[in-house]
Structure formats: structure tokens, C-alpha cells
């Protein structure tokens, strides 16, 4: 659930900063890049804080870690792959629904 909340907060921040009323038709890439950057930034911060500073968890010896903060590779890849796939899916759906709406429009 925590990752879902991070994703929703990141998307909301991206929409507030760069969104347009016609989103996702307009400014999609800017909002997506911002949301991914915010989410990834928070994930790296949280992993570092909880793992290295507060010691609320520890990575397995088998977890590849990304320097300089030693964040686990898996959380970073998860954050990059899953939200990117969801945003791409939402964009395709938005574009296909717009095409259907345009095909139903009366001729001018």
C-alpha cells in the first residue's frame, strides 16, 4: 500500500506542477517525467533513511545496491518499471477512447 500512496502522491504533484486541464491529452510527458522523478527520489530517500539511518530494515547480502547511497536495485527498478507501464497503459487508453469519440462526432 505504501508504494501505491507514493505513486498517487507523485502523480498528484506532477499534475499540480505541470498538468493541463486537457491532461493526459496535453502535457502527458512532462507530468509523467515529474511523477517518476518525484517517486524515484522519494523511494531512494526512504530506502536510505530507513535502511542506513534508522536501521528499520536491512537488505539481504544478495541484493545488488546502487551507489552512492547504497539503495537496493530492486526498489529502484520496481519504481521505474511499474509506474512507467501504468502511465503508458493509461495514455494508450486515453488516446484510444479519444479516437472512438472522434469517430462518433457528426461530420462538419
pLDDT tens digit sequence for 61-86: 999 998 888 889 998 998 889 888 98
For the entire predicted model, the pTM comes to: 0.79
pLDDT in tens, 9-56: 999 999 999 988 888 878 889 999 999 999 999 999 999 999 889 999
Contacts of 95 (CB under 8 A, 6+ apart): 25
Q: Which three cell numbers stand for residue 107?
A: 461530420
Q: Which three cell numbers stand for residue 94?
A: 486515453
Read off the pLDDT band of 107 (50, 70, 90).
Answer: low
Rounded CA separation 36/72 (Å): 17
Amino acid at each position: 500500500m505504501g508504494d501505491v500512496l507514493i505513486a498517487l502522491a507523485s502523480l498528484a504533484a506532477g499534475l499540480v506542477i505541470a498538468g493541463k486541464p486537457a491532461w493526459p491529452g496535453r502535457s502527458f510527458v512532462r507530468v509523467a517525467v515529474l511523477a517518476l522523478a518525484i517517486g524515484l527520489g522519494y523511494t531512494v530517500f526512504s530506502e536510505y533513511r530507513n535502511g542506513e539511518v534508522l536501521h528499520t530494515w536491512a537488505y539481504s547480502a544478495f541484493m545488488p545496491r546502487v551507489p552512492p547511497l547504497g539503495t537496493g536495485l530492486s526498489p529502484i527498478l520496481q519504481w521505474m518499471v511499474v509506474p512507467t507501464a501504468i502511465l503508458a497503459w493509461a495514455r494508450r487508453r486515453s488516446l484510444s477512447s479519444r479516437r472512438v469519440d472522434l469517430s462518433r462526432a457528426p461530420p462538419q
